[in-house]
Chains A and B, each alone.
Chain A
């Protein structure tokens, strides 16, 4: 173990503070590259390093945050990567000798890996490699990746550090409101970076220490790695025209104890900090007793964890059994095969989304298409899917070359599906899992095929686990598929699979997954077999099934099986899946009283069952349509209006309710003589000239129609003359004008002036996002609708005053 890492184990180390702040004070002109400036002013850098060393820093950083080829390109200096990094590391060494460690700082390139940015994974790795090799040569004790905001980019940097230097690597991301710029949480970062081999992880920059506490806490819950933190120096003040970070040194120091308790082993400061901060932190550190932090003593254990760029999914004996969607597989599905062949990724995405909507926790991605190159399709598929999906992918591929390309692209922690007991598979696939921080699924088969008996399958599983552990994988990252053969060929073999699951779970303790659908191949009613077999496997300890999420029974069996096998304490998941988590407010429908059921349907906006309920009411109870309208439709409509006015419900619910009421109303109206309902009034509606947004206008239209008004909708971007002509022709009582922007609301006044000029009796009602009551009065409108709900009332008032 490196001296730096062993020092960390003994006690927490103190880093230095911001370089940027100090460089500006030392005379770095605005807009100039700090790295190039260093070459011209090495003595200034030494003064800064010396100041931090004197303040008590035990780790001093190199001035190389932007010393990569892509950043230096902005200053036409990309040829100086070597020189800058070597010089920077040597300058620190000249100052600190052996009194402090040197952190070789590597910052982001400013470019994300494709598809977000224009550089490939391989190009980024080369950029980082060049810088890191120079830092190591210059004498850095570890590589410090800091201020990264994209998991994909930091993963490329970490890969370069692990593979092209022999130094330990610290990874630090920057967070805003709990996520990195591209959406990664601390938990996800911990899972992915730990699997990739980071030695130290944490957060820097972002915000002050207070905001970083919950971030570090989240890290702490998700990893056993030592943590690092470098907060900004908080709030600056302006005193006598100078920027001062008063009080903050003490404030920074006041958080040290909290951070230590969470397992932080390396602490420094970022933007805005100075040697004063480091001094205050040093004094605080020295004043603390050397007792070990509470959390650090107990090593946390974790289940199997897989991750997308943004989300972690757990798997294991104490977790809910998971559903892995199997449908992105061209072998059995022509439409998928064609989509791959024609690069129709939107169809593949659609397929992915549908599976997620049906409850898939992970997605299997199989691109094995005869005549196509998996080595091209797998990475492309990953690029397409991983940006749009937040659930982890299972890479269904056994070609090591294609897998390696795919794993480079995947920014989370994937599951490789699969390795098996064959020597060739073990030696090619397992190292990939280690190198790229993935988990791996083992199949219990080898050169001789799938053994019939459970005991022989177990032996293969044992071998795969042993070999995985030998190359440095942890047990949680090795999973097993005990393989099921179709019941159509030999149904006696099915139970051997169940027995193997039991043995593997009991004696090897690794997570078990099953490719389920094979069991029913060639038989009718496949869902019966799949679900029965799933239930048996859950009983034996299965942790996840690769299955078809569109078979709704699968989710049901998983939920029921989870409950029955003791994985669902309090039946919380079961109740949720069963749809029985009743929010106190929704009352169940009362079938003994169809009118109150109608109320419920209308209030909840459930359109589908309304017609059959009305038919039932009309035929079996012989209630007349007018009574149903008066007692069944109007009361909930009035009630919802009141609830909306009182702020109890929101506009979408009001719309859903009134749509449901309209369906009931039009159906009943047809049962009555045509003249029963008089037209309540005619309204010409439109958005004014220049305005192309009409959602608000359409909402008002729907509500008015549902209240029985006749609406002539002129649409959007309507010229003044159309409003006038239509109002005349239709003998409308009201013109309703909508405008969203300040630039278009002036058109309203033109319509009003025209109405006056033509001496029409029609009233003008105005509304829209930017329109105020004042403005309505000012332009001489007859009414102003603040929102859709109020507009209904204003219309009633305007017509009543006629």
Chain B
């Protein structure tokens, strides 16, 4: 079990896609974004946890892990991790104070709540991405090829597996829990699995070119956005 704590490195520009702002926001919106960037950086207590499990059993329908009650279930899901010897489970959260902030704003001031929610969503995504990059580098150094992140609720991996996911990580330690309907609490939390593939995978590399293409998320290629955990915040959501 490893813990991950780094500061948020969020910028104004990164927030815009999460607010679905594809061009310059209005001066009032800008002011609100700047304000909540600061407030969320101040209130967030980003922390992550991860643990790596050897793959115990693979079938085209599901994967089980050594020492974990979790099943990576579903055809898409099993295919995603087909070539993996190990799987790293990770969970990240911004902490409960962000929930308090959003709960406070939501009924009183929807415009503020909307912006704060967008900033917080960007923050947890960006923080998770930081952890992902860190783990990917380590996986590559050990001679494996990291898969793209995949989460319960992506593709055909049912959200119901959140509970076992969290148990596997003992994520109580960083304060993440799930509701009976499998919603993560605090709300700005993410769970994801990262595979250690023994053969190269296209998506595990940033192709050497200067034009940055955003990493393709498995949910997007599967055209199942509507079932995605990130549907409300995914910048690619409306492309399909």
Q: Taking beta carbons and an 8 Å cutoff, which residues of A are in contact with B? A: 20-21, 24, 30-31, 112, 115-117, 147, 149-150, 174, 176-177, 179, 181-183, 205, 207-211, 232, 234-238, 241, 243, 251, 271-272, 309-310, 349-350, 353, 356-357, 387-388, 583, 586, 604-606, 649-653, 655-656, 659, 690-696, 698-699, 701-702, 740-744, 769-772, 775
B110 touching A653 by the CB < 8 A rule?
Answer: no
Bound Cα distance from A501 to B44, whole angstroms: 43
Bound Cα distance from A357 to B130, whole angstroms: 27
B181 touching A695 by the CB < 8 A rule?
Answer: no
B226 at the interface (CB under 8 A from A): yes
B111 surroundings in chain A (CB, below 8 A):
605, 652, 655-656, 659, 702
B227 touching A742 by the CB < 8 A rule?
Answer: yes
Shortest CB-to-CB span from B134 to chain A, Å, is 5
A742 touching B159 by the CB < 8 A rule?
Answer: yes
A208 touching B38 by the CB < 8 A rule?
Answer: no
Please pick, from A176, A210, A691, A775, the residue contacting B210 in the complex, using a CB distance under 8 A. A210
Contacts known (A179-B9, A310-B9, A691-B181); A743 close to B42, Cβ less than 8 A: no
B137 surroundings in chain A (CB, below 8 A):
147, 149, 174, 205
A772 surroundings in chain B (CB, below 8 A):
226
B200 touching A236 by the CB < 8 A rule?
Answer: yes
B207 touching A743 by the CB < 8 A rule?
Answer: no
Bound Cα distance from A698 to B159, whole angstroms: 25
Q: Among A183, A583, A690, A769, which residue has the most Cβ atoms of chain B within 10 A? A: A769
B28 touching A653 by the CB < 8 A rule?
Answer: yes
B206 at the interface (CB under 8 A from A): yes
B110 surroundings in chain A (CB, below 8 A):
655, 695, 698-699, 701-702
Shortest CB-to-CB span from B176 to chain A, Å, is 15
Please pick, from A24, A349, A652, A693, the residue contacting B143 in the complex, using a CB distance under 8 A. A24
Task: Return 25 A-B CB contacts under 8 Å, by A number.
Answer: A20-B141, A30-B144, A147-B137, A149-B134, A149-B137, A181-B6, A182-B9, A235-B207, A235-B208, A236-B145, A237-B200, A387-B7, A650-B25, A653-B26, A655-B114, A656-B28, A690-B183, A695-B102, A695-B110, A696-B232, A698-B113, A741-B229, A743-B183, A770-B226, A770-B228
A207 surroundings in chain B (CB, below 8 A):
206, 208
- The contact size tier of chain B is 35 or more
Please pick, from B141, B179, B226, the residue contacting A690 in the complex, using a CB distance under 8 A. B179
Shortest CB-to-CB span from A766 to chain B, Å, is 13
B115 at the interface (CB under 8 A from A): yes
Against A, the Cβ 8 Å flags (1 = close, 0 = not) of B102-125 are 100011001101110100000000
B181 touching A583 by the CB < 8 A rule?
Answer: no
A349 surroundings in chain B (CB, below 8 A):
42
Bound Cα distance from A775 to B228, whole angstroms: 15
Shortest CB-to-CB span from A311 to chain B, Å, is 11
Contacts known (A349-B42, A388-B42, A659-B111); A181 close to B232, Cβ less than 8 A: no
Contacts known (A149-B134, A650-B21, A652-B19); A743 close to B27, Cβ less than 8 A: no
Contacts known (A116-B5, A695-B110); A20 close to B181, Cβ less than 8 A: no
A742 surroundings in chain B (CB, below 8 A):
153, 159, 227
B199 touching A243 by the CB < 8 A rule?
Answer: yes
B143 touching A30 by the CB < 8 A rule?
Answer: yes
Contacts known (A653-B26, A692-B179, A692-B183); A181 close to B114, Cβ less than 8 A: no
A696 surroundings in chain B (CB, below 8 A):
232
Residue of B nearest to A18 (CB): B141
B206 touching A653 by the CB < 8 A rule?
Answer: no
Bound Cα distance from A656 to B26, whole angstroms: 11
Shortest CB-to-CB span from B237 to chain A, Å, is 9
B70 at the interface (CB under 8 A from A): no
Bound Cα distance from A699 to B41, whole angstroms: 24
Shortest CB-to-CB span from B6 to chain A, Å, is 5
**Which positions 173-224 of chain B face chain A at CB distance < 8 Å?**
179-183, 185, 187, 199-200, 205-210, 212
Bound Cα distance from A21 to B137, whole angstroms: 14
Against A, the Cβ 8 Å flags (1 = close, 0 = not) of B35-50 are 0001001100000000
Bound Cα distance from A737 to B185, whole angstroms: 22
B231 at the interface (CB under 8 A from A): yes
Against A, the Cβ 8 Å flags (1 = close, 0 = not) of B1-31 are 0000111010000000001110011111100
B32 at the interface (CB under 8 A from A): yes
Shortest CB-to-CB span from B25 to chain A, Å, is 6
Please pick, from A20, A357, A387, A695, the residue contacting B113 in the complex, using a CB distance under 8 A. A695
Q: What are the 7 closest A-B residue pairs judged by CB atoms, nearest first?
A: A690-B181, A208-B208, A183-B9, A655-B111, A769-B232, A702-B110, A699-B110
A650 surroundings in chain B (CB, below 8 A):
19-21, 25-26, 29
A211 touching B208 by the CB < 8 A rule?
Answer: yes
Shortest CB-to-CB span from A480 to chain B, Å, is 33
Shortest CB-to-CB span from B45 to chain A, Å, is 11
B59 at the interface (CB under 8 A from A): no
Bound Cα distance from A732 to B227, whole angstroms: 31
Shortest CB-to-CB span from B33 to chain A, Å, is 9
A238 touching B187 by the CB < 8 A rule?
Answer: no
Bound Cα distance from A655 to B115, whole angstroms: 11
Shortest CB-to-CB span from A151 to chain B, Å, is 11
Bound Cα distance from A234 to B209, whole angstroms: 10
Apart from A691-B183, A771-B226, 13 more pairs, CB < 8 Å = A235-B205, A309-B7, A388-B42, A605-B111, A650-B21, A652-B25, A652-B28, A692-B183, A698-B106, A698-B113, A699-B114, A741-B181, A741-B182
Contacts known (A207-B208, A235-B208); A651 close to B182, Cβ less than 8 A: no
B239 at the interface (CB under 8 A from A): no
B172 at the interface (CB under 8 A from A): no
A182 touching B7 by the CB < 8 A rule?
Answer: yes
Shortest CB-to-CB span from B127 to chain A, Å, is 11
B208 touching A251 by the CB < 8 A rule?
Answer: yes
Q: Among B25, B106, B110, B134, which residue has the most Cβ atoms of chain A within 10 A? A: B110
A740 touching B106 by the CB < 8 A rule?
Answer: no
Shortest CB-to-CB span from A653 to chain B, Å, is 5
B141 surroundings in chain A (CB, below 8 A):
20, 147, 205, 271
Bound Cα distance from A204 to B212, whole angstroms: 19
B21 surroundings in chain A (CB, below 8 A):
650
B133 at the interface (CB under 8 A from A): yes
Shortest CB-to-CB span from B154 to chain A, Å, is 11
A309 surroundings in chain B (CB, below 8 A):
7
Shortest CB-to-CB span from A563 to chain B, Å, is 23
Contacts known (A149-B134, A387-B7); A693 close to B187, Cβ less than 8 A: yes
Shortest CB-to-CB span from B21 to chain A, Å, is 5
Please pick, from A24, A117, A690, the residue contacting B5 in the complex, using a CB distance under 8 A. A117
A652 touching B32 by the CB < 8 A rule?
Answer: yes
B102 touching A652 by the CB < 8 A rule?
Answer: no
Bound Cα distance from A694 to B159, whole angstroms: 20
A605 touching B113 by the CB < 8 A rule?
Answer: no
A236 surroundings in chain B (CB, below 8 A):
145, 200, 205
Q: Among B24, B117, B227, B232, which residue has the most Cβ atoms of chain A within 10 A? A: B232
Q: Among A176, A235, A742, which residue has the most Cβ atoms of chain B within 10 A? A: A742
A655 surroundings in chain B (CB, below 8 A):
110-111, 114
A243 surroundings in chain B (CB, below 8 A):
199-200
A770 touching B133 by the CB < 8 A rule?
Answer: no
Bound Cα distance from A235 to B207, whole angstroms: 7
Bound Cα distance from A116 to B127, whole angstroms: 14
B142 surroundings in chain A (CB, below 8 A):
20, 30-31
A769 touching B231 by the CB < 8 A rule?
Answer: yes
Shortest CB-to-CB span from B199 to chain A, Å, is 5
B209 surroundings in chain A (CB, below 8 A):
210
Contacts known (A179-B9, A770-B231); A357 close to B179, Cβ less than 8 A: no
A182 touching B6 by the CB < 8 A rule?
Answer: yes
Bound Cα distance from A149 to B131, whole angstroms: 12
Please pick, from B29, B85, B187, B207, the residue contacting A653 in the complex, using a CB distance under 8 A. B29
Contacts known (A117-B5, A234-B208, A740-B232); A353 close to B38, Cβ less than 8 A: yes
B56 at the interface (CB under 8 A from A): no
Bound Cα distance from A237 to B42, whole angstroms: 44
Contacts known (A209-B208, A237-B200); A690 close to B180, Cβ less than 8 A: yes
